[in-house]
Amino acid sequence: MSSPIQALCDAVAQNTSDDAFAPALQPAQWEILGSYLQFVELPAGQVLINEAAQDRTLYFIESGSLSVHRLSSSGQVQLSLVNAGSVLGEGAFFSRLPRTATVTGATASRLWRLTPLRFGEMANRQPSVALELTLALGLVMARRLRHKLKRVAVT
């Protein structure tokens, strides 16, 4: 497969973290998913997600690292560093609740975003791809919630 999302597919395949995003998608299904995504370049230091925001966008990390942190009474506390091949924003995406943490580019990063509207379109037109995506995201959430340090990093 040679497509705009090839680097994302490669990053997902190479991700070996405990909370790896690992959908069982065939190349043609990746192409379908890619047609619903929008590319985002994030400079180091720029905020991607603000804690308490109502946004429900889901992000797939093609390259780079993002810092997940919260503001506490003692200042900013880093909860997690999320790397290429993973996802961010799954908590608000599913719950429709405000964001639980702020996410900032730790390094310059390349991302793909999926809005709830585009996901709804995909679910109607390509239900098997939407279902596999949902199952893979559910596994990421379950693994993050089981890990005490990452539990609060479900954004």
pLDDT, residue 113, reads: 99
The number of distinct structural domains making up the chain is 1
pLDDT, residue 136, reads: 97
- Contact assessment for residue 106 and residue 64, using Cβ atoms and an 8 Å cutoff: yes
Full domain range(s) for residue 80: 6-147
Q: Which helix (H) or strand (E) holds 88?
A: strand 87-88
- How much of the chain, in percent, has pLDDT values that exceed 90? 80
What CATH number is associated with residue 21?
2.60.120.10
Q: Is residue 120 part of a domain?
A: yes
Average pLDDT for residues 140-154, to the nearest whole number? 73
Q: Is residue 27 part of a domain?
A: yes
Q: Is residue 153 part of a domain?
A: no
**Going by C-beta distance under 8 Å and a sequence separation of 6 or more, which residues neighbour residue 122?**
32, 33, 36, 129, 130, 133
pLDDT, residue 11, reads: 97
- Whether the pLDDT of residue 120 is over 90: the answer is yes
